[in-house]
A and B are shown apart, each in its own frame.
Chain A
Amino acid sequence: MINSNFSRRNFLGLAAGAAGAAALAACGSSGPEDKSGGSSGGGGGAASYWSLSGEPGEPIRQAAIDRFNKANPDTKITPTFFQNDAYKQKIKTALGADQGPTMIWGWGGGGLKEYVNSNQVEDLTDWLGQNAAVKDKILPSSFGAATVNGKIYALPVETVQPIVLFYNKKVFEKVGVEPPKSWGEIMALVPKFNAQKIAPFSLGGQSRWTNMMWLEFLLDRTAGSEVFDRVFAGEKDAWSDPAVLDMLTKIQDLVKANGFQKGFSSTTADSNADQALLYTGKAAMMLHGSWSYGIQKADGGNFVKDGGLGWMNFPPVEGGKGDPSNTVGNPGQYLSISSKATTEAKDLAKKFFSTTLVDDEEKAGWVKSGGVPVLKNSDSLFTGDDAAFLKDMSAIASNAKVFAQSWDQALSPTAAETLLDNIAKLFQLQVSPQQWVDAMNGVIGK
């Protein structure tokens, strides 16, 4: 066992060095200096904050920090924004080298658990106990993914994001068909759209987690949420459920029927190419997180304004046991405080948590972006163009019997990587459903 920080930092550096071009390309540009980092100390009232770049979230995150810095002129929070997929690796590398930020943005769940096990993040349970007013402002359902072993390690922030089935109303009108109400209807729509040279579904398959959303919903609709609960609990051979084989076969049937756009496995979600397919009318439907609404609105010109975008909860599967009100997605985003930060920086972060992040402007900002805030009592803000969407998302989130966290966020990063890898192969028809089950059973509980 090597426990000292020095050695850990050293070995990470060594590993990166020897990986040569590979590692350099991946993590070469070392992050901005953490002004509040463990060893630097001293510096008055500064904290760093890392989060995701891009519309619609980045401007609102930036606005929150600007608001805080303006209200507290003698202190300063410095934000840095990264692309989604790049951030996931960046933050791990930085934390391993003790170069992490004061405030760590994340998805909660399995990733947060790993930080907790490595003593990287502060336990906020007591602080939230003392500041019950802060806790009371946030939806209780959002705290589930922030809780590890009964303790809260992150503040739920930003928005509740169920995954929904988006569709292009104009395309449906053009082809003369109705939105699907069941899995059978989905499969019946596929050849109709293909005949018109429109892709039935848009999918950013290279990002892999996009494919995973299909498995999450299909498994839930056929067998309910219990099957994945058993996987999550680490039960032996938990994937060996007939419903899993059934679900995997359905997915491969959809792939074989050209249910997704040509080249879906080389389309990336980070570049929003999958979103573009929907608003340009090259694809009819897309299963995606509710944040997609903001992207469609920002990038799609008048598409959303003219009422082109439709949405619904994922339809039921014939004979399926799952509750059709169930949904999957992100019950919130999460901000943790680094345990390696100075007391000063930690206090500054807590001040940021208890003031700016739960204020009305924050709430209004996220509503304006087309999101349902994790903050309570936002329904009255649902007015204007986005009211219909926001009300529906809020209803889906609050009416869901089970609001499951996305699998890759709930599982440990190691298990999630194997899952995503096998899902990509499934969509590529490289593995059969049975091979998929065997491979996944092999890594349960790891």
Chain B
Amino acid sequence: MTTIAPPVVRTKGSNRSSGGRSGSGSVTWMALPAFVWFVLFGIIPLFGVLFLSFTTWNGIGDISVTGLTSWKATLTDPGLPHALWITFVIMALSWAVQTPMSILIGVFLATSKRYRELLAVLYFIPLLLSSAAIAITFKALLDPNFGLGAGLGIDALNQDWLGNSTLAMATLIFIVSWQFIPFHSLIYQGAVRQIPTSMYEASQIDGAGRVRQFFSITLPQLKYTIITSSTLMVVGSLTFFDLIYVLTGGGPGDSTRTLALEMYQKGFQANLMGPASAIAVILVLVGLALSLLLRRLGGRADESQLEGV
């Protein structure tokens, strides 16, 4: 037995080490497809756009390198600061509306009661619809001549929802919130469920009410979730395109023309691929800066929220 044992041990050992080697090798291989796709559709296009921003091209003819012409045209265009402003307004307002609502709904749904689970399923529905479908539906419902207001004879609903600059912006924020609050509620619901119940039990013994519990335990415990959800909202709102394009086309006038729409119009309607690429580069830079800023705001990732628990 003892004479047989060493070879077995040896094989085991060699197996383990070779297994380990081939294991790490296979892990690298598994990352490769994703890496290739990312380089192919993420990195290379980025450099392509950067290159195009130094050229003049109408989209169908020849590309000619023209140095800073496109950048000068883009940076002196009054449409750029306007589009930036509109983008930030949509970002800020949709964040300000969505975050409190999502947290409250998330907390509400975190408690496991039958009827709340049913509600959770219902709240989830907007998430199943595509942005274009949502936009077409709301556009039809809000039409002042053939929409909900005219159909039901309710004059209060008969506003010029998408044709008045201020109202169009408000309507847009509402629809964006309607579409995305379910998603963020889901994130918060999961996060709230992870908070240890012992914290609530302890605070109950100390005589804390529901409101106090919410502000002193739930909210601080959700800190990182808030940062994650905010990052998704902020960076996501940079690329809002389909919803706005179908709903208002950037209008009325240019009241809802975000950076993404400005880029599309420059590139695919005015056939100015150079300036459109310059706007795309600006869009990338703004997005990177914002997500970096949000990470900084989050503080150190390794600090514990559960000290003493």
A-side residues, CB < 8 A to B, are 1-3, 7-8, 10-23, 25-27, 88-89, 92-93, 95-96, 114-115, 117-118, 120, 199, 205-206, 261-268, 273, 276-277, 282, 412-414, 416-418, 421, 424-425, 427-428, 430
Contacts A282-B145, A414-B272 known; A118 to B62 CB distance under 8 Å?
Answer: yes
Name which residue of chain B comes closest to A7, CB basis: B63
Which B positions have Cβ atoms within 8 angstroms of A? 41-42, 44-49, 51-52, 57-65, 132, 139, 143-146, 158, 160-163, 165, 168, 239, 241-242, 245, 248-249, 251-255, 260-261, 263-265, 267-273, 276-277, 280, 284
- Starting from the known contacts A18-B46, A88-B269, A267-B143, 13 additional A-B residue pairs (CB-CB under 8 Å) come to A1-B64, A1-B65, A8-B63, A15-B280, A18-B280, A21-B241, A26-B264, A95-B60, A118-B58, A266-B161, A414-B270, A416-B270, A421-B265
The answer to whether B143 touches A263 (Cβ under 8 A) is yes
A430 to B146 CA separation, bound complex (whole angstroms): 26
Q: Which chain B residue shows the least CB distance to A117?
A: B61
> Which residues of B are found within 8 Å of A12, using beta-carbon distances?
59
Question: Contact between A17 and B62 (Cβ–Cβ < 8 Å)?
Answer: no
Can you list 22 A-B contacts with CB-CB less than 8 angstroms, sorted by A residue number?
A: A8-B62, A11-B48, A15-B48, A17-B48, A19-B276, A20-B239, A21-B239, A22-B260, A22-B264, A26-B241, A89-B268, A96-B59, A96-B60, A205-B163, A205-B251, A206-B249, A265-B253, A266-B161, A268-B249, A413-B271, A425-B254, A430-B165
A22–B251 Cα distance when bound, in Å, is: 17
Q: Known interface pairs A114-B60, A428-B253. Does A15 touch B49 (Cβ–Cβ under 8 Å)? A: yes
The answer to whether A263 and B161 have CB atoms under 8 Å apart is yes
Q: A413-B269, A428-B253 are in contact. Are A2 and B168 (CB under 8 A)?
A: no
Q: What is the CB-to-nearest-CB distance from B163 to chain A, in angstroms, rounded to a whole number? A: 4
* B165–A428 touching, CB < 8 Å: yes
Contacts A15-B45, A262-B145; A1 near B160 (Cβ below 8 A): no
Q: State the CA gap A199–B160 with chains docked (Å).
A: 14
Which residues of chain A have C-beta atoms less than 8 A from B41's C-beta?
Answer: 17
Query: With a CB–CB cut-off of 8 A, which chain B residues contact A430?
Result: 165, 253-255
Say yes or no: A266-B160 contact (C-beta < 8 A), given A14-B45, A206-B248: yes
Pairs A-B, 8 closest by C-beta atoms: A14-B48, A266-B162, A417-B270, A17-B45, A18-B45, A118-B61, A428-B253, A265-B252
Q: Is there an interface contact between B264 and A264, defined as CB atoms closer than 8 Å?
A: no
A23 to B48, CA, bound (A): 14
A120 touches B62 (CB 8 A): no
Q: Which of B63, B241, B271 contacts A25 (CB 8 A)?
A: B241
Output the nearest chain B residue to A264 by Cβ-Cβ distance: B163
Q: For the complex, would chain A's binding face be called helix, strand, loop or mixed by DSSP majority?
A: helix
A262 and B144: CB pair below 8 A? Answer: yes
Chain A residues in 8 Å Cβ range of B260 = 21-22
Which of A1, A20, A205, A417 counts the most B-chain CB atoms under 10 A from its CB? A20
Contact A19 B52 (CB under 8 A): no
Whether B163 and A262, one on each chain, are in contact in the complex, defined by CB atoms closer than 8 angstroms, is: yes
Complex partner residue of A266 from B51, B139, B242, CB under 8 angstroms: B139
Q: In the complex, what residues of B have CB within 8 A of residue A421's CB? A: 254, 265
Q: Of residues B161, B251, B273, which shows the largest number of chain A Cβ atoms within 10 Å of its Cβ?
A: B251
Q: Are A89 and B242 within 8 A (Cβ)? A: no
Question: B163 near A263 (CB under 8 angstroms)?
Answer: yes
CB of B263 within 8 A of CB of A261, answer no
Tell me whether B49 and A14 are in contact (CB under 8 A). Answer: yes
Q: Which residues of A contact B51 (CB under 8 A)?
A: 11
Whether B143 pairs with A273 at a CB distance below 8 angstroms is yes
Q: A273-B146, A414-B271 are in contact. Are A424 and B252 (CB under 8 A)?
A: yes
Residues in B with CB closer than 8 Å to A273 are 143, 145-146
